[in-house]
Structure 1
């Protein structure tokens, strides 16, 4: 399917803007990002041909991540950048042009609207959705000195095929292991029963991730990608509790 074949432009008047800011003018030393916050699909893509309800699953967005990011931003009075479109339209934490950027299959679910796309159709998604998010990240770093930056994600406990993931949260990095260790130490001290890990359930890769390799690492600031299992974010109370834990850990990072 080619999303330009109908002659429509990708984003129309009824589609949301790709980026939403929270606390945009904040000069806090921490910048927060949530690339998989939204699950919108441009009307021109006709739901990507997905089965009913598929976009509500973990393949369509990071369940609970937006609420967690908003709560954390409120506790820290920190700027937060939210991305409004489903990761199935374009995954804004993947380098543009890589296979994971516009996935044709996700957790064994076929995405018909991403099959056989022309280069022009891919570039339009990159220009209109990925591009504005990337520009917002650059702006977030430029408008005030930042000592740390964190990307907020969630993961599912059980993929359709594969082992059950026993971790409640993971802290991902390549080189800044010291920051990840602070998160591990702080949360373990505050909630001894949590199952925590560094670089689980994923690892940061140059051709599979965007924010850390292309923004955080080059700036030499404290950083990690925060992954919380979505079954830990089932209620407002649980989200608030996790935001409190993460805020305390970020405070500890800033004191190092």
Structure 2
């Protein structure tokens, strides 16, 4: 039985100039990999996917009538949001869970996962961005959706939502301002991670190409239920709409990364 395509493209109005991305949207694995040696319960944890992001993206794409690209398989197989040379591309252990199916891993199997899952996802992202650019006649705005755990190693995380970025602040600063404006949620800036990650999805498709972008992380307990997802669709959709209406967020503008020179 052949695998499904390692990505899903949600079709929307390509002329609107906005693309949503979901690198870690699902916890599925191709049938041939079983559970990678993990208990089934591992696939309900954050190690397998970004909890709540799939319904959040589907709802936002429908509300805004814009396209989205989501990875179809779990980050435990191979992480779409890592460069091909990143040591965490195929994890052997994640938050205490030993992933037996990833260790030992032959060079041939690592290449097979790159060719079968990682590269097709990134081609789908690039192709969708190119289609939107052509249809809209301008540089697209790219917004990537992720989620993070409410606590890490016993330490609560106070932010309800955060924005990650490298050095291109064009979309980030108005996005942070809009999220903070109601005053009812705690908004993080490059928390709980640094947004400058060489080779990740936004580095590859936006930093290197000069497209305006931002990565939004919502805390998982905020979007762990249908009601929570609906509330965040209501919160984010008008913000994304206002961002997308800005002419200055549809121009190509290169910014040097904090991670060092771009790859050749």
Fold shared per TM-score above 0.5: yes
Measured on the aligned residues, the alpha-carbon RMSD in Å equals 1.6
Relative to 1, partners in 2 of residues 1:50 and 1:65: Cα closer, same or farther, differing over 3 Å? same
Answering whether residue 216 of structure 2 is matched by residue 226 of structure 1, we say: yes
Answering whether residue 142 of structure 2 is matched by residue 167 of structure 1, we say: no
Give the corresponding residue for 2:93: 105
Give the corresponding residue for 2:254: none
Give the corresponding residue for 1:197: 188
Cα separation, 2, equivalents of 1:150 and 1:49: 34
Answering whether residue 147 of structure 2 is matched by residue 154 of structure 1, we say: yes
Residues 210-252 of structure 1: per-residue CA shift (max 9 Å, x gap): 1111111123222111100010013223212212222222223
One of 214, 224, 237 as aligned partner of 1:247: 237
Cα separation, 1, equivalents of 2:106 and 2:64: 43
Whether the 8 Å contact between 1:182 and 1:252 is mirrored in structure 2 is no
Gaps of 5+ in 1: 1-11
Cα separation, 1, equivalents of 2:37 and 2:115: 22
- TM-score normalised by length of structure 2: 0.86
Give the corresponding residue for 1:4: none
Cα separation, 2, equivalents of 1:21 and 1:85: 13
Counterpart secondary structure, 1:50: coil
Aligned pair count reads 241
Give the corresponding residue for 1:177: 169
Answering whether residue 33 of structure 2 is matched by residue 45 of structure 1, we say: yes
One of 14, 24, 32 as aligned partner of 1:26: 14
Cα separation, 2, equivalents of 1:58 and 1:29: 31
Gaps of 5+ in 2: 134-138, 249-264
Please show how residues 94-133 of structure 1 align to structure 2 within 5 Å. 94-133=82-121
Whether the 8 Å contact between 1:167 and 1:195 is mirrored in structure 2 is yes
- TM-score normalised by length of structure 1: 0.88
Shift of 1:180: 1.8
